[in-house]
Amino acid sequence: MPLPIQSSASAIEALPAPKPIEIIAAFSGIADHRSNSGKRHQIALCLALFTLAIVAGNQGFLAIGDWLKSYERELIELFNPPKHRLPSYSTIRRVLLTLDYEQYSAALARFFEIEALPGETLAMDGKQLRGSYQIETNNPDSPPHPAIMLVSAYLVERGLILEPYEVDSKTNEITALPAFIEQLALKGVSGVVFAFDAISTQKNLSVDSR
């Protein structure tokens, strides 16, 4: 007995949903500051290709372009970009020109699970997230709030940034540093050297952070 023939639509619906690509998901939340006109490729795809090209040892945009051409078929099969076309190296360059590198570094740290190793130096500093404040006072649905403060840690030897730690709005960088160090300790980070700026070299802070 012949099997019933499914319509093309029902056959497509019967296919399993494609699994999300982790490196695309890692960069999906990064803000895209490019102009909307002529924007063909999502920033997550451009950053994923850039990251893979750099990890593969390519230095410079021309080398990245050659890498894209050499593995074009495999990359299209993997990422399934719109119209089966990869972004060019010049498109990736335009993405990098307007990229928020703190967001990119944090996403990269989470994706590669970057952790400090014993003997490495962690340079720690607090920074305000630009544009994160709200000063509107005449809208009850949008209460004012101060700018978001982040404490970041930079791995000096490898030139890498760990995932930033958000400071509670009721405290400040000085009191947040011990909490950040404690968080690192809970993750098993030990044997590292911490470097602070002058604002953090206070007697009470050094006692609390031991």
Asked if residue 201 and residue 130 are part of one domain, the reply reads yes
Cα 167 to Cα 177: distance, rounded to the nearest angstrom: 9
Cβ atoms 136, 81 nearer than 8 A: no
Stretch 146-166: mean pLDDT? 72
Kindly state the percentage of the chain with pLDDT values over 90: 20
Asked if residue 122 and residue 90 are part of one domain, the reply reads no
pLDDT band at 9, cuts 50/70/90?
A: very low
Q: Highest-confidence range of 32-46, 125-139, 141-155, by mean pLDDT?
A: 32-46
Cβ atoms 198, 124 nearer than 8 A: no
Cα 191 to Cα 79: distance, rounded to the nearest angstrom: 40
Asked if residue 83 and residue 157 are part of one domain, the reply reads no
Nearest to 109 by CA among 152, 78, 45: 152
Asked if residue 87 and residue 147 are part of one domain, the reply reads no
Is residue 9 in a domain?
A: no
Is residue 11 in a domain?
A: no
Stretch 115-131: mean pLDDT? 74
Taking phi first (over 0 means left), then psi (-120 to 50 degrees means alpha), and beta for anything else, what does residue 84 get? left
Asked if residue 88 and residue 51 are part of one domain, the reply reads yes
161 has a pLDDT exceeding 60? yes
Asked if residue 131 and residue 81 are part of one domain, the reply reads no
Q: What pLDDT sits at residue 203?
A: 62
End-to-end CA distance of the chain: 78
Predicted TM-score (pTM) of the model is 0.59
8 has a pLDDT exceeding 50? no
* Phi, psi of 152, rounded to the nearest 5 degrees: -115, 150
Which of 62, 97, 132 terminates a domain? The answer is 97
Is residue 155 in a domain?
A: yes
Is residue 60 in a domain?
A: yes
Which of 97, 126, 153 terminates a domain? The answer is 97
Residue 80 sits in which domain range? 18-97
Beta strand extents in 37-175 (DSSP E only): 121-128, 149-155, 160-161, 165-167
Is residue 5 in a domain?
A: no
Stretch 143-160: mean pLDDT? 70
Asked if residue 121 and residue 86 are part of one domain, the reply reads no
Asked if residue 88 and residue 132 are part of one domain, the reply reads no
Asked if residue 133 and residue 70 are part of one domain, the reply reads no
Q: What pLDDT sits at residue 42?
A: 92
Is residue 176 in a domain?
A: yes
207 has a pLDDT exceeding 50? no
75 has a pLDDT exceeding 90? yes
Asked if residue 84 and residue 155 are part of one domain, the reply reads no
Q: What pLDDT sits at residue 156?
A: 86
Is residue 67 in a domain?
A: yes
Q: What pLDDT sits at residue 191?
A: 86
pLDDT band at 78, cuts 50/70/90?
A: very high
Q: What pLDDT sits at residue 172?
A: 58
Cα 73 to Cα 81: distance, rounded to the nearest angstrom: 11
Is residue 106 in a domain?
A: no
4 has a pLDDT exceeding 60? no
Q: How many domains does the chain have?
A: 2
Which of 50, 65, 97 terminates a domain? The answer is 97
Asked if residue 79 and residue 123 are part of one domain, the reply reads no
Q: What pLDDT sits at residue 71?
A: 95
The two beta strands, 121-128 and 193-195, are parallel
Computed over every residue of the chain, the mean pLDDT equals 75
